[in-house]
Amino acid sequence: MEKCYWMAVAILMGLTVRWTVSLHSYSGAGKPPLFGDYEAQRHWQEVTLNLPVRQWYFNSSDNDLQYWGLDYPPLTAYHSLLCAYVAERIEPAWVALYTSRGHESAAHKLFMRATVFIADLMIYIPAVVLYCCCLKEISTKKKAASALCILLYPGLILIDHGHFQYNCVSLGLALWGVLGVSRDWDLLGSLAFCLALNYKQMELYHSLPFFCFLLGKCFQKGLKGKGLGSLLRLACTVVASCALCWLPFLTEWEQTLQVLRRLFPVDRGLFEDKVANVWCSLSVFVKVKDLLLRDTQILISFLITLLSVLPACVKLTLRPSLRGFRFALVSCALSFFLFSFQVHEKSILLVALPVCLVLHEVPFMSAWFLLVSTFSMLPLLLRDGLLLPSVATTMAFCMACAALLPAWAEASEEALQLGAFLAAVRKHLPYLKPALLPHGIRCLFLASVTTMVLLTLMSVTLEPPRKYPDLFAVLVCFVSCLNFLLFLAYFNIVIMWDSKNGRRKKTN
Amino acid sequence: MWLNWLKTRGGAAMAALGTVKGSGNWFLALALGVTLLKCLLIPTYHSTDFEVHRNWLAITHSLPLSQWYYEATSEWTLDYPPFFAWFEYVLSHVAKYFDQEMLNIHNLNYFNSRTLLFQRFSVIFTDLLFVYAVHECCKCVNGKKASKELTEKPKFILSALLLWNFGLLIVDHIHFQYNGFLSGLMLLSIARLFQKRHMEGAFLFAILLHFKHIYLYVAPAYGIYLLRSYCFTASKPDGSVRWNSFSFTRLISLGLIVFLVSALSLGPFLAMNQLPQVFSRLFPFKRGLCHAYWAPNFWALYNAADKLLCTIGLELKLLDPNKIPKASMTSGLVQQFEHTVLPSVSPVATLICTLIAILPSVCCLWLKPQGPRGFLRCLILCALSSFMFGWHVHEKAILLAILPMSLLSVEKAGDASIFLILTTTGHYSLFPLLFTTPELPIKILLMLLFTIYSISSLMTLFRKEKPLFNWMETVYLLGLAPLEVCCEFVFPFTSWRLKYPFIPLLLTSVYCAVGVTYAWFRLYVSMLTGPPGGKTKKQ
């Protein structure tokens, strides 16, 4: 009792903030004819309930794919169907075919919010709590503290409970995957991750580290003996679980192909809207989108992404460790976000999740990253009328990190996990002062926070010049992108110079 | 230059960030945290009190002083004392920069997002006084049990209990009222008495009385305490009063303070010959014994007993069904409640009951002065007794007892146990205030948050002493959970919903009344059986 209550307090705080945010506006509220993601989710309920499975992903007179057509994998569709059943029992008008388009009412908002809340409560939050309970070498109170920090991460709360999406489901499943893999229940872990992947195709950002980590583990056991067996078992689990999810769409080749086409809409371009990734930031100077053919764009983005994830993946395969796995998740997801084709601004959440997992190891850099990631979605949040909850939750998150995390604001070499790297650098540059790096990082942090605050103030108060209506949005993306590049470099350095821990793991 | 500036400022800012978990800054974190939560609560449901306060803004802004207490365009006439009216007047001068239209008396039920923001932020902003008062109160608690762990220090627990108080959060920031800064004034005045700054304490309380006259209920405690322990400067060794130590200068200066504050508040109305009108607005006795929803007090038990006897009487054919007034059986929502079996209660009767209930505690304060702690106990008893027996008591008035009780709870295990029973039942009895579905999760989550925290932290604080609850109390408190499930999750789906819509309210009120009565009784016992005055005085 005495020990659990801090965790209970942390969970209740997380839940309270989630529900209070959900009372605010959602994307596309009162904005016909297209509305926003809220209407998209409602429309999917309408489609999945009223149409046979075979028509879900096909354009037809009953299913206008131009109007929020289903473009997520089958598990999302099943989830929509489940919600639709409940909705139909409460009020059939909410999910009636055709007539329910653009339906908005207080009761319906309550229902939709409740579905996200319940999904969050059942999938994401238990995973976070369990993850924090499994952390080693810290007291129960500290475990609760890190759980609170993770649960208060504003980006996920604002997108799921404010803007309206079900990221908590896919991220929660991925987290269950991480949990399973790190507790050596590899089969369960890979099953959970497959479910995540079949809920949202963007989970592919996390797939490489999972693959490399499991492969590395099998290599360690010896590919000729035990390792081969476990590899085969893993492969079977993955194939079977995916097949199960896709069962209704595997009957015909055309069905499968159509779903895949919907999932990876290459014709939608290099990036959408204003994203804080390299391609969007580059377009300020060079219009890559118009200069190159689409196939060339795909090829280039693919190659650069591959190049960027390669070091972390190779290292993880050769020397699999839990710590390395977590950092590889961060670096791979970030590389995908920065360089890959067709990225949404909300995809930053996929990077934020693994960063939350290393929050207790590198508190300073992680908290900083999480702040930047929330900031990078500012244009979207402002469009949804979520300024007040954004500011409030961000401040609450900052405060929680500052008050609860050990060694927050400690930017020493040790705290940043850069000791080994700097030792290596010093061999070549002996005149480098030891205090220079922590100092430099602090300055960068302050500069970054100041620009974020200033840009937020500017986008809220100032009218953009008529010539550049997107001026502030582009600036936000550009600044965030610069920050993200810095983080990419940092996390890669941490991964590559992680020899010390890897060796210790082995001797254990 | 930019970089240089960053370097110098950077060090300072990082140091500031780093010290948040250092010594005094946990308080700031608690206060800021709850403020952010209040900001998130802005779009929640608000009651008619929102319109009441908007109307008062309009009245004070657009009418001369002479018409404030006569204006009756809206049904929500000004019925708070003059200082509160002046407070609204000051607010209205900020409000005009938000939206001029909300200050028009004829715009009844005027509402838009700017009005909402202004009104909500005015509550959040004035709560700063409450935060300051809590800070001062923390200095008054005994730190002798100081543990190394920050979270197990009485100061930390007390500030969390006060700042994150569930009742204040939902009454002020969802339901909409200004109890935060009023309670702040009261706590501040209590803290001043603890710090032996009696004149300041009396001054603050006099001001508070002219903000909201409900605080008259605790005035006896103030009066007797100041007279006994301030005007009489010494006691005999056995604790009884030493009559020759009376200080006339102290009495006169106290009287002067109270007189000056009252003159400032009521003087203008006296000059305009409007005092009777002001008082008729302040003390409307035309309302019923109980509010539409019975506050969990003695009268709730009384009404319930009446209904029970009536039903039994009907079953046993002892009563004639034709003679029973219809209203009493069909719903609990009628303002004028007529008793069928038990004698009906008049306002004077409740007044006498209240006075009788208050009397022992006040006598005890006079005969066995135990310093400021005894005063605080007496103040809580006054508040609770008037809550128990008062005329037309609102369920919100329980906060008047809960907030000062927090101060006692972190010092003694016995008080902690009473406090937990009182707060848990008292807070639960506030649930019917928020009856809209979107607020249902909020109230449950916040209630759980506060209850789990308060129970666990106080248990940790007093873990070396005997358990805080016996089995009966535990069962009673746990019973609140099934009660909530029945009232809000099961009952709406049963067929009784239409026939007996008042049952959930009745159940809640009666169940909570048991707990509040029990807490009141135990607190009384602790006051009467407390150690004799002489010894504690020397501490």
In contact, A281 and A480? CB cutoff 8 Å: no
Using the predicted structure, report yes or no on whether residue A226 has a pLDDT greater than 70.
yes
Residues of A with CB under 8 A from a CB of B: 1-2, 5, 8-9, 12-13, 15-17, 19-21, 23-24, 106, 110, 117, 141, 388-389, 391-393, 395-396, 399-400, 402-404, 408-411, 439, 442-443, 445-447
Q: Assign B380 a pLDDT band (cuts: 50, 70, 90).
A: very high
Least CB–CB distance from A396: residue in B13, B36, B43: B36
Cβ–Cβ of A410/B18 closer than 8 Å? yes
Question: Does the residue A152 lie in any domain?
Answer: yes
CA-CA distance, A493 to A484, in Å (whole number)? 14
In contact, B190 and B404? CB cutoff 8 Å: yes
How many beta-carbon pairs below 8 A join chains A and B?
A: 103
In contact, A26 and A109? CB cutoff 8 Å: yes
Q: Quote the DSSP letter at residue A343.
A: B
CA-CA distance, B456 to B450, in Å (whole number)? 10
Least CB–CB distance from A395: residue in B21, B36, B453: B36
Q: Assign B150 a pLDDT band (cuts: 50, 70, 90).
A: confident
Chain A interface disruption, residue of B14, B164, B173, most A CBs within 10 A: B14
In contact, B319 and B313? CB cutoff 8 Å: yes
**Identity of the residue numbered A42:** R
Higher pLDDT, B39 or A423: B39
Higher pLDDT, A222 or B479: B479
In contact, A131 and A175? CB cutoff 8 Å: yes
Residues 420-459 of B with CB under 8 A from A: 437-438, 441-442, 445-446, 448-449, 452-453, 456-457, 459
Instruction: Determine the average pLDDT of the residues in B148-156.
Output: 85
Question: Does the residue A47 lie in any domain?
Answer: no
Q: Which two tokens stand for residue B154?
A: 């009485």
Does B474 contact A at CB distance below 8 Å?
no
Cβ–Cβ of A20/B33 closer than 8 Å? no
ipTM metric: 0.92
- Euclidean distance between the first and final Cα of chain B, in Å? 60
The angle at the Cα of A124, spanning A122 to A128, to the nearest 5 degrees, equals 120
Q: Quote the DSSP letter at residue A464.
A: P
Question: Does the residue A57 lie in any domain?
Answer: no
CA-CA distance, B82 to B261, in Å (whole number)? 11
Using the predicted structure, report yes or no on whether residue A140 has a pLDDT greater than 90.
no
CA-CA distance, B185 to B201, in Å (whole number)? 9
The three-state secondary structure class of B393 is strand
Adjacent-strand bridge partners of B393: B290
Cβ–Cβ of B9/A446 closer than 8 Å? yes
Q: Assign A451 a pLDDT band (cuts: 50, 70, 90).
A: very high
Nearest CA in chain B to A410: B18
Least CB–CB distance from B449: residue in A16, A393, A402: A16
The alpha carbon of residue A151 is apart from the nearest alpha carbon of chain B, in Å, by 15
Does B113 contact A at CB distance below 8 Å?
no
Residue with tokens 């779009």: B43
Question: Does the residue A227 lie in any domain?
Answer: yes
Using the predicted structure, report yes or no on whether residue B456 has a pLDDT greater than 70.
yes
pLDDT of residue B75: 85
Question: Does the residue A313 lie in any domain?
Answer: yes
pLDDT of residue A500: 53
Does B10 contact A at CB distance below 8 Å?
yes
The three-state secondary structure class of A239 is helix
Contacts of B90 (CB under 8 A, 6+ apart): none
Cβ–Cβ of B441/A117 closer than 8 Å? yes
Nearest CA in chain A to B6: A443
In contact, A394 and A374? CB cutoff 8 Å: yes
The three-state secondary structure class of B241 is strand
Nearest CA in chain B to A444: B6
Instruction: Determine the average pLDDT of the residues in A355-376.
Output: 93
**Identity of the residue numbered A34:** L
Least confident of A191-200, A242-251, A281-290, A407-416: A407-416
Report the greatest alpha carbon distance in chain B. 95
Domain that holds residue A333: 5-29+104-246+266-507
Length of chain B, in residues: 539
pLDDT of residue B499: 79
The three-state secondary structure class of A271 is strand
For residue B9, the chain A residues in CB contact (below 8 A) are: 446
Structure confidence by residue, pLDDT tens digits, B40-89: 999 999 999 999 999 999 999 999 999 999 988 888 889 899 999 999 99
Structure confidence by residue, pLDDT tens digits, B182-239: 999 999 999 999 999 999 999 999 999 999 999 999 999 999 999 988 888 877 777 7
Least confident of A220-224, A459-463, B124-128, B299-303: A220-224
Contacts of A229 (CB under 8 A, 6+ apart): none
In contact, B528 and B364? CB cutoff 8 Å: yes
In contact, A91 and A104? CB cutoff 8 Å: no
CA-CA distance, B193 to B175, in Å (whole number)? 32
The chain-wide mean pLDDT, for chain B, equals 86
Instruction: Determine the average pLDDT of the residues in A71-82.
Output: 94
CA-based R_g, chain B, Å = 25
- Euclidean distance between the first and final Cα of chain A, in Å? 33
The three-state secondary structure class of B235 is strand
Least confident of A137-151, A312-326, B316-330, B510-524: B316-330
The alpha carbon of residue A239 is apart from the nearest alpha carbon of chain B, in Å, by 40
The alpha carbon of residue A18 is apart from the nearest alpha carbon of chain B, in Å, by 10
For residue A396, the chain B residues in CB contact (below 8 A) are: 33, 36-37
Closest of B449, B151, B430 to residue A15, by C-alpha: B449
Q: What is the sign of the dihedral through the CA atoms of A213, A216, A218 and A221?
A: negative
Closest of A144, A133, A135 to residue A11, by C-alpha: A144
Query: Is the peptide bond prior to B347 cis by the omega test (within 30 degrees of 0)?
Result: no
Contacts of B149 (CB under 8 A, 6+ apart): none
Q: Domains in chain A: how many in total?
A: 1
- Most confidently predicted of A191-195, A359-363, A427-431, B237-241: A191-195
pLDDT of residue B146: 61
pLDDT of residue B382: 94
Using the predicted structure, report yes or no on whether residue A498 has a pLDDT greater than 80.
no
Using the predicted structure, report yes or no on whether residue B7 has a pLDDT greater than 80.
no
CA-CA distance, A430 to B272, in Å (whole number)? 87
Least CB–CB distance from B29: residue in A13, A15, A399: A399
Instruction: Determine the average pLDDT of the residues in B359-383.
Output: 90
Q: Assign B498 a pLDDT band (cuts: 50, 70, 90).
A: confident
Using the predicted structure, report yes or no on whether residue B22 has a pLDDT greater than 60.
no
Residue with tokens 């030891």: A434
Q: Which two tokens stand for residue B147?
A: 């543990």
Q: Assign B334 a pLDDT band (cuts: 50, 70, 90).
A: very low
